[in-house]
Amino acid sequence: MALIVQRPLGTADVTPAEIHKWYTVEQVAQDTARVFGFREIRFPTFENTDLFLRSVGETTDVVQKEMYSVMAKESRFTLRPEGTAGTIRAVMQNGMLNDALPQKVFYITSCFRHEKPQAGRLREFHQFGAEMIGSASPAADAEMISMAHTLLESLGLRNIELNINSIGCPACRAEYHKALKEFFASKTSELCGTCLGRLEKNPMRILDCKSPVCSGIAKDAPVITDYLCEECSDHFAQLKELLAAMNIEYKVNPKIVRGLDYYTKTVFEFITTDIGAQGTVLAGGRYDGLVEQLGGTPTPALGFAAGLERLIMTMEKQGCDFMEQEKCDLYIVPMGAAAVKKSAEIAGLVRAEGYTAEYDLMNRSLKAQMKYANKTGAAFVLVLGDNELEAKKARLKNMESGEETEISLDDSFTENFSAIAMAAMFAAEETAGMFNL
């Protein structure tokens, strides 16, 4: 086949054969959010470009290289590169900060960044994110990390290392920036062009540069934790105590600065070595300045986002369980026009009870229909021909055990089918249980 137009580089399709993996992650994410008291928020796919310039930051990779922006009439719009800016804008614009705080919201959404596509790095990817607005307490940091930890555990993931750091507040950062400028001053001939520009405006950004030369030089740079003010250093100490009390293992990693400018104080990443170089499956931190930066009264806030593609890749690699693929409960095999009508009627009744029911729409032979039912994994098959219609009963075949039961086609059909299907389900569960012993 010569497909004339292919999907854009760095995007992916999810076929029905893979969708159960996405349902698993989305379901577990929603359940985790619910038990932590977070409610879903939805916001537009594109925003005024200015929102990201003001929040994500002008010296970040995202703003400098990765945004998909368009001019439409007089306005400039950008496809969301991440979810925090849109969430906070929406929370503010809908007056939610006037309600009881903290506000706790989550989203599952697509993000767009013009990056170099590679394993774990796409141009359209998906995030589950959670944001908490209103609490300055280190207990809120611990709570968010605990929620992230619960999510990863509930997905069945193992060996994911939690790295934490504090990148301080604007007060401690002023001192730190001075130290960084001094450190990099003698190395300007080696830094990449982007980092040269960052040296003046935002030297901490250099630590997050993806160029091996820059990150090599940055290895020996001063670390932010040596420059924290008393308040930030206290906050970090309390967080560490809380995590220890919660039995959440962590490593302090002073090199973590995160790729977005709005972060203050706590930042964290959950990192796996199972999926190659792009091993950060979930990342987040505190961003106490963002609400004010967007024009609100100063309000502390924090959050995290997990990359769904990276979570699924890690689950596949680690052999984690996904929920089962949807299967057909009842496949009806009609022979002739009258049987097709009866099939539609029976399918309707069974569907009303919540079972999946299908019947032949291809005018296939009996043999071909049975083959199709087998291939698609139907649990039960009912063959309907003229004889069955006349006798008002047919044989219901359990495709797994091969067992056949005579079932009457009158009003009692659904009830009887339901009883047989339930019994088969319990039997299957018991067999599975026996194997587990």
Enumerate binding residues for ligand ATP (CB under 6 A). 82, 113, 115, 120-122, 125, 127, 258-260, 278, 280-283, 305-307, 309-310
Candidates 264, 303, 252; CA nearest to 167 is 264
- Token reading at 395: 């044989």
Supply 192's token pair: 């990449």
Residue 33 CB, nearest distance to Mg ion (Å)?
Answer: 24
Residue 388 interacting entry, from ligand ATP, Mg ion, none, C-beta within 5 to 8 Å by type: none
Nearer to Mg ion, 239 or 305 (CB): 305
Nearer to ligand ATP (CB atom), residue 149 or residue 258:
258
| DSSP-based three-state secondary structure for 285 | strand
Binder of residue 122, out of ligand ATP, Mg ion, none (CB less than 5 to 8 A by kind): ligand ATP
How far apart are CB 259 and Mg ion at their closest, in Å? 5
Closer CB to Mg ion, 259 or 285, in the complex: 259
Tell me how far apart the alpha carbons of residues 204 and 382 are, in angstroms, rounded to a whole number.
Answer: 68
Output 8 or 354, the one with its CB closest to ligand ATP.
8
Q: Please give the residue whose beta carbon sits closest to Mg ion in the complex.
A: 259
Q: Which does 370 bind (CB under 5 to 8 A by kind): Mg ion, ligand ATP, none?
A: none
Q: How far is the CB of 67 from Mg ion (least distance, A)?
A: 12
Q: Residue number with the shortest CB distance to ligand ATP?
A: 307
Closest CA to 322 of 332, 335, 333, 308: 308
Of 57 and 334, the one with the shorter C-beta distance to ligand ATP is: 57
Report, in Å, the least distance between residue 82 CB and ligand ATP. Answer: 5
Q: How far is the CB of 198 from Mg ion (least distance, A)?
A: 15
Q: What is the DSSP pairing of strand 264-271 with strand 161-166? A: antiparallel
Give yes or no for residue 57 binding Mg ion (CB under 5 A): no
Q: Please, what is the minimum distance in Å from the beta carbon of residue 288 to ligand ATP?
A: 17
Whole-angstrom CA distances from 85 to 45, 95, 100, 123, 321 are 12, 16, 21, 18, 33
Q: Rank residues 80 and 235 by Cβ distance to ligand ATP and give the closer one.
A: 80
Q: Which does 310 bind (CB under 5 to 8 A by kind): Mg ion, ligand ATP, none?
A: ligand ATP
User: Strand locations in 243-352, DSSP E?
Assistant: 251-252, 264-271, 280-286, 301-307, 330-334
**Residue 121 contact among Mg ion, ligand ATP, none, beta carbon within 5 to 8 Å by kind:** ligand ATP
- Cβ proximity to Mg ion, 224 vs 305, nearer residue: 305
CB 228, CB 191: distance < 8 Å = no
- Those residues with Cβ within 8 angstroms of residue 15's Cβ, 6 or more apart along the chain or in another chain: none
* Shortest spacing between CB 313 and ligand ATP, in angstroms: 10
Q: Which of residues 221-260 bind Mg ion (CB under 5 A)?
A: 259
Measure the CA–CA gap between 329 and 349, rounded to whole angstroms: 13
List residues bridging with 252 in a β-sheet: 164
State the binding partner of 47 from ligand ATP, Mg ion, none, CB within 5 to 8 A by kind: none
List the single partner that 307 binds among Mg ion, ligand ATP, none, CB under 5 to 8 Å by kind: ligand ATP
How far, in Å, are 59, 194, 340 from residue 64 at the CA level? 6, 9, 61
Site for Mg ion in 257-316 (CB under 5 A): 259
Contact, 93 vs 65, CB < 8 A? Answer: no
Picked from ligand ATP, Mg ion, none, the partner binding residue 305 (CB below 5 to 8 A depending on kind) is ligand ATP
Rg of the chain on CA atoms, in Å: 28
How near is the Cβ of 310 to Mg ion at its closest, in Å? 12
Q: 281 contacts which partner out of ligand ATP, Mg ion, none, CB within 5 to 8 A by kind?
A: ligand ATP
**Which of these, 371, 386, 77, lies nearest to 394 by C-alpha position?**
386
Alpha helices in 114-253 (DSSP H): 138-154, 170-185, 193-201, 212-218, 230-245
- Strand bridging mode 280-286 / 404-408: unpaired
374: alpha, beta or left, given left = phi > 0 and alpha = psi -120 to 50?
alpha
If the CB atoms of residues 259 and 284 are measured against Mg ion, the closer one turns out to be 259
Closest separation between CB of residue 205 and Mg ion, Å?
12
Query: Which of residues 203 and 259 has its CB atom nearest to Mg ion in the complex?
Result: 259
Q: Which of 110, 414 has the CB closer to ligand ATP?
A: 110
What is the closest distance, in whole angstroms, from the C-beta atom of residue 194 to Mg ion in the complex? 13
Q: Phi first, then psi: what are they for 306, rounded to 5°?
A: -115, 140
Write out the residues near Mg ion by the rule CB under 5 A: 259
